[in-house]
């Protein structure tokens, strides 16, 4: 199996590429910049949106794991809407040229304001340009795959916890603050409950999805249980030995964030159970 990973130089892409390579997968890794990509991959620095025949250019991969996306933490960025046609054009070129499977990274922000557990059939009413664009690409790609007899997988990511300072998540900001020697961090009340997955486990889940084709469609990569933001951030600070105190109530919650939302982990549990059984 040859897997093309787009967005391979990003925060998530670098970890997923490493996991795929550790699993013995033939990986073609691409991004506009490639300085952080594992050197074991077949690295191709390119702008996806400018390639006339990406399928041939990337060596006719069996699977495209499409993780490329700008401004993922800037939910109001116009780049989400402006880039949408280019994402669809790229995937169309891959689907019509002969790729066997398209596996793309989505987001729980496709759902919008919702209370409770999200499954694959939960209605989507996104509340941000980021969520709207991801949801539109999901729907368009599913039709594209159906029309071209291409297998379709949509990985719905939730909240990812990692110590990298390369990002705009709350955890990256705290890690950067600790690196800068700060001892206080302005925070919300942290009462909202979300689904958190550690970075390494998330990368393993994404790789596991891409390495199999028995489970298709929308797949939640998640923990399957909620935790308040305050609890997870306090735990994160303790786990990493940061000398930082949270200043609660300094910022309001985002108005479109749900009070309690988490993923149904049935599909990813099936995939991971098979993976662990195979490796044991």
What residues does each domain of the chain span?
2-160+195-224+262-279, 163-193+226-247
Quick: pLDDT tens for 131-156: 999 999 999 999 999 999 999 999 99
Quick: pLDDT tens for 198-228: 999 999 999 999 999 999 999 999 999 999 9
pLDDT at 13: 96
pLDDT at 164: 83
Enumerate residue ranges in the chain where pLDDT < 70.
Answer: 167
pLDDT at 166: 72
Select which of 130, 159, 199, 256 is catalytic. 130
User: Quick one: tokens of 208?
Assistant: 């596991």
pLDDT at 195: 97
Inter-residue contact 28 to 66 (CB < 8 Å)? no
Q: pTM to 2 decimals?
A: 0.94
Q: Does domain 2-160+195-224+262-279 have CATH number 3.40.1130.10?
A: no
- Per DSSP, which regions of the chain are E strands? 2-6, 26-31, 42-45, 63-66, 101-107, 116-118, 151-157, 159-161, 184-186, 193-194, 196-198, 217-221, 227-228, 245-247, 261-263
pLDDT at 220: 97
Is 57 annotated in the active site?
no
User: Quick one: tokens of 222?
Assistant: 């998640």
């Amino acid at each position: 199996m040859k897997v093309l990973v787009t967005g391979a130089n990003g925060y998530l892409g670098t970890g997923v590429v490493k996991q795929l390579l550790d699993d013995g997968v033939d990986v073609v890794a691409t991004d506009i910049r490639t300085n952080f990509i594992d050197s074991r991959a077949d690295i191709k620095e390119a702008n996806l949106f400018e390639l006339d025949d990406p399928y041939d250019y990337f060596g006719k991969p069996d699977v495209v794991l499409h993780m490329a996306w700008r401004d993922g933490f800037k939910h109001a960025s116009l780049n989400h809407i402006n880039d949408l046609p280019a994402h669809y054009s790229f995937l169309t070129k891959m689907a019509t040229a002969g790729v066997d499977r398209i596996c793309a990274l989505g987001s729980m922000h496709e759902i919008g304001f919702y209370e409770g557990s999200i499954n694959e059939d939960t209605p989507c009413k996104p509340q941000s340009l980021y969520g709207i664009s991801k949801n539109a690409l999901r729907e368009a790609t599913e039709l594209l795959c159906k029309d071209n007899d291409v297998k379709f997988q949509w990985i719905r990511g939730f909240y990812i916890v990692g110590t990298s300072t390369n990002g705009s998540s709350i955890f990256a900001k705290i890690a950067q603050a600790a690196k800068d020697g700060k001892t206080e961090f302005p925070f919300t009340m942290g009462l909202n409950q979300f689904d958190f997955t550690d970075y390494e486990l998330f990368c393993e889940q994404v790789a596991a999805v891409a390495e199999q084709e028995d489970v298709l469609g929308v797949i939640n990569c998640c923990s399957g249980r909620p935790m308040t933001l305050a609890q997870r951030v306090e735990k994160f600070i303790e786990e990493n030995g940061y000398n930082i105190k949270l200043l609660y109530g300094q910022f309001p919650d985002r108005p479109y964030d749900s009070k309690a939302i988490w993923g149904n982990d049935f599909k990813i549990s099936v995939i991971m159970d098979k993976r662990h059984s195979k490796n044991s």
